[in-house]
Each structure stands twice: as structure tokens, then as C-alpha cells.
A and B are shown apart, each in its own frame.
Chain A
Amino acid sequence: NAGVMQNPRHLVRRRGQEARLRCSPMKGHSHVYWYRQLPEEGLKFMVYLQKENIIDESGMPKERFSAEFPKEGPSILRIQQVVRGDSAAYFCASSPGPGGEKLFFGSGTQLSVL
């Protein structure tokens, strides 16, 4: 049973480009969470999604950032017109149901904006 799969592991973008981060949850998990981690900081909640629905996006910047979790396929975190301040590690986690229990994290995508 594969864990939470994130790709790419490393992503380099120039300012103004778009970044697409993918997350395939664990088998049987229909709840996905995205977190951002800056160096020497904790994980900042961004968004919580269920299949085809955004449940809570209170941690997501209002502009340039969007997330989806379609009926088929991975969850996507999309950052448009990236800036240097977007450089961070982005982690995806999944769980089989609502609630924080049984939350499993992927290995993250390290985004570097040049």
C-alpha cells in the first residue's frame, strides 16, 4: 500500500511562471490537506479538500494560489506568477475521513523560485 505520493520532489521556477504540485493520497483516503513549510518554521495549513470539494481554504493566500481534488486523479496545488517568497517545501497529507487522526504526509515538494 503506497503512501502519499507527491511530485515533483523538487521544482524550480522563475519569477512569473506557474508551479503545479501534485499529490496522490493513500489508497482509500478521500481527504487531502496541503501545508507549506518555510525553513526553520512549522507547517502552515493552507487548504483542506475532499473529492471535488474545498472544505477549508482559510490558510490559502487569496491571490495566485488555488487547489483542486478532482473525482479522478491527484490533488493539484497551483501557484500562478510565482514570486521568490513562494519558495518553500509544500507538503500534502491525506486521511481516510475527516478529523486529524490517521493523517499521513508525503515527502513534500521543494519549490525554488529564481
Chain B
Amino acid sequence: QQQVKQSPQSLIVQKGGISIINCAYENTAFDYFPWYQQFPGKGPALLIAIRPDVSEKKEGRFTISFNKSAKQFSLHIMDSQPGDSATYFCAAGHYDMRFGAGTRLTVKP
């Protein structure tokens, strides 16, 4: 049972562009929604996270938008850079996170 659906599977963006990755969840008991960044050969690292009491959270070039009624949330990367090229995972849960399938982002110089 896939509890978190993530799209797109892959994304190519030009340097300086905006990268947008979307996720949808099913379980209304989930109360924590993080995004993780993973480079090849490494474990995922927490990028930014949000709780359902706010609709948006911004940290530098990274923004999470959260729509509780639609059970959807998205990651926006502004001014995308080649160093942002990685796989991004959304997750949702309470104490144990359920992960989306990942989005492989390539930022072209």
C-alpha cells in the first residue's frame, strides 16, 4: 500500500529555474511532512519539514507548500543550482515516516 505518492519521477531544470516536486498522502493521522535530499552513495538528509498547522514554510531557496484539505504538499526550489542535482524524497508520518518513491532532479548549467 503506497501511502505517499510523489511526482514527477524525474525532473530536468535549467540553472536559475524553479524546481517543483509534488506529494500526496492518504493517512490523515500523519502530522509531520519532511523532505529529504539524497546524493549517490549517501543516506537521505533532512532538507526542510512542515507540520499541518501552517500552509507554507520557507528556508533559503527551499519552500514547502502544504494543503491539508487536499492532503498534498510540494517542494519548491528557487534559483535551482547544479549542486541541487540529487534525488528528493517526500515523507509523511507520525513516528515512522512513509516515503515517496523519489524524484531525480537534474539542474543543467
Chain A residues close to B by CB (< 8 Å): 4, 31, 33, 35, 40-45, 48, 55-56, 91, 93, 98-101, 103-108
Is there an interface contact between A100 and B32, defined as CB atoms closer than 8 Å? yes
Is there an interface contact between A105 and B43, defined as CB atoms closer than 8 Å? yes
With a CB–CB cut-off of 8 A, which chain A residues contact B102? 40-42
What mask results when residues 74 to 109 of chain B are scored 1 for a CB within 8 Å of chain A, else 0? 000000000000000101011111111110000000
Give Cα distance in the complex from A32 to B34, angstroms: 18
SS class of chain B's interface: helix, strand, loop or mixed? strand
Q: State how many angstroms separate the Cβ of A38 from the closest Cβ of chain B.
A: 10
Interface residue tally for chain B (C-beta within 8 Å): 24
Q: State how many angstroms separate the Cβ of B32 from the closest Cβ of chain A.
A: 4
With a CB–CB cut-off of 8 A, which chain B residues contact A108? 42-43
Is there an interface contact between A56 and B99, defined as CB atoms closer than 8 Å? no
Q: State how many angstroms separate the Cβ of B92 from the closest Cβ of chain A.
A: 8
Is there an interface contact between B43 and A4, defined as CB atoms closer than 8 Å? yes
Chain B residues close to A by CB (< 8 Å): 4, 6, 32, 34, 36, 41-46, 49, 89, 91, 93-102
A41-B101, A41-B102 known; A33-B43 Cβ under 8 A: no
With a CB–CB cut-off of 8 A, which chain B residues contact A44? 99
Give Cα distance in the complex from A61 to B41, angstroms: 25
Is there an interface contact between A100 and B95, defined as CB atoms closer than 8 Å? yes
Known contacts A98-B95, A108-B42; 14 additional CB pairs below 8 A are A35-B99, A42-B101, A44-B99, A91-B44, A99-B95, A100-B94, A103-B34, A103-B46, A104-B46, A105-B36, A105-B44, A105-B45, A107-B41, A107-B43
CB-nearest residue of chain A relative to B97?
A100
Is there an interface contact between A106 and B43, defined as CB atoms closer than 8 Å? yes
